[in-house]
Chain A
Amino acid sequence: MFTVRSTVKTITAHVKPTQQLRYKRDKAGLNPQLERIVNQLSVMSAARKQPRLLKLCDEDYIKHRTVMKAWSLYRKNKIEHNESLLEKQYQSMNEAAAELQSINPKLYEIANEHQFGKRFPLEIRTPTDFPPRQIWFYDYFPKVDGSKQQ
């Protein structure tokens, strides 16, 4: 059986300690550097850290299967609902565009102009778990149109 400690000892037997020692520490174990390596490797190794195997009885196993099935159904329904919503939104956009084109081609052209440099505004908030102290910014004043704006 190889342990982390024994393998490190054999691999790094030739590494000399950089720290000056007052006494010879042959019997005191590894030097501090190697000790640290052993420590770090031991975190990654499963030895003595793994829990006992989870053994479910038949009833518990059926319960587990039921829970997982319910969750997958819930997810599936949610995804399907979202997809159908997207489909409907696409259809209604299409319908509106066709309608606009047939009755007023000029407005249709404006509606389909490419919006260069259109970006999501920086001022908009990303939802957080809890609200900020000032929930909404009310004191907004519109920018006075300078030379940049048309």
Chain B
Amino acid sequence: MMQIRQLTRSFATATTTTTSNIPIKSSLILSRTPIVTQDISEFEKLFYNYQEELERRLMWTFPKWFYFKKGTVAEREFSEAQNYPIPNARGVWFPQGNPDLKHGRDRRFKQEVILPKKHIESDNNNKEEDSDNDFDNVGRPIRANSRITKFDKENDQTSLERKLPRTLYLLVNQNGNWKFPSFNVLSENENSGLHKIAEDGLRIIGGDKINTWSVSNSPAAVIKYDSNNKIIHNTDNNDQLITREFLIKSHIIAGKFDLQKSNNSVSDFKWLVKEEIKDLVDISYYSKIDHLLSDI
């Protein structure tokens, strides 16, 4: 049985060895995934605010007696922090209708639960800054880092630390064209596969101090060029002169793309988001890669 199988396999390889010399290229779409969460649009912001207000209006009254035992210091601090509404009283005219208080909440409106401040912030500003940078100090105030980095302000497009909520893509200026880095598939390196050729080529032009993770062995798209390096859109002609460029997707995880001086074909590189790519590359090239790039 095994022999038969081997026999059929050998026949299979025999047929596949008749590959022609059609020029093939392997291209790498190297992306940096978002580091911070997506920015929400103005409409989404407004809608979420509306929903939250509705939810708060329809909220049950906060059961203070459950969380704070009567007569404790915590209960007193909590009670002091609240803004209690004015209760209804006979003979008093309320222009916005009579208050309807239950458990210290006006049931006609939302309840605002205010938490008492635990620690008093120091008045001295210098002292605060000192304690901010003192990472050994566990009691330092918690402050979130900015979502906009200095590279955003400088608009340094070669930096990996720009546009944190978006996916960045590596584009190189290869032989005068801005595109994803692409590499020739030669007969000697054909055995390693398209993904390996693309990953190895990236290390030749960008140094090997880069950690990448290719999404798949198989290509995400194909772009065809004619002999004049123009993109062909129709798929009928099976010409020997047509160059086929296969796009492989990959993520950068660590390290950096460091342009090697020894390489002549690549002169420049940029880390860009989708909209910036649209402005930079050829329209015909962009139409081929448009759907492969993330909107986020």
Contact = CB atoms under 8 A, between A and B. Distances in A.
B137 to A, nearest CB: 15
Interface of B: 15-17, 19-20, 22, 24, 33-38, 43-44, 47, 50, 54, 57-61, 63, 65-66, 100, 102-103, 105, 107-108, 110, 144-147, 149, 160-161, 164-165, 185, 190-195, 208-211, 213, 216-222, 235, 238, 244, 246-247, 251, 253-256, 291-292
Contacts of B210: 140
Contact of A111 (B105, B147, B165, B193): B193
Contacts of B57: 51, 54
A113 B255 CA distance: 28
A135 B161 contact: yes
Interface in A76-111: 85, 88-89, 92-93, 95-97, 99-100, 102-107, 109-111
A49 B238 CA distance: 75
Given A39-B66, A106-B19, A137 B222 contact: no
Contact of A141 (B22, B63, B209): B209
Given A123-B254, A124-B253, A107 B218 contact: no
A96 B16 CA distance: 18
B19 A104 contact: yes
A139 to B, nearest CB: 8
Nearest to A138: B256
24 contacts: A39-B65, A39-B66, A43-B63, A48-B102, A70-B43, A89-B292, A93-B221, A96-B219, A96-B221, A96-B247, A100-B219, A102-B238, A111-B217, A112-B218, A115-B216, A124-B33, A124-B213, A125-B33, A127-B34, A130-B145, A135-B35, A137-B254, A138-B254, A140-B211
Nearest to A71: B47
A137 to B, nearest CB: 5
Interface string A7-27: 000000000000000000000
Contacts of B15: 105
Nearest to B34: A127
Given A48-B61, A93-B221, A131-B149, A85 B36 contact: no
B39 to A, nearest CB: 11
A89 B291 contact: yes
A49 B218 CA distance: 60
A50 interface: yes
Contacts of B217: 110-113, 115
Contact of A142 (B66, B100, B209): B209
B164 A135 contact: yes
A146 interface: no
A77 to B, nearest CB: 11
A46 B107 CA distance: 13
A108 B86 CA distance: 77
B33 to A, nearest CB: 7
Contacts of B38: 127
A128 to B, nearest CB: 6
A43 B47 CA distance: 30
Contact of B195 (A40, A95, A111): A111
Name the 3 nearest CB pairs between A and B, nearest first: A140-B255, A110-B193, A88-B291
A148 interface: no
B220 A131 contact: no
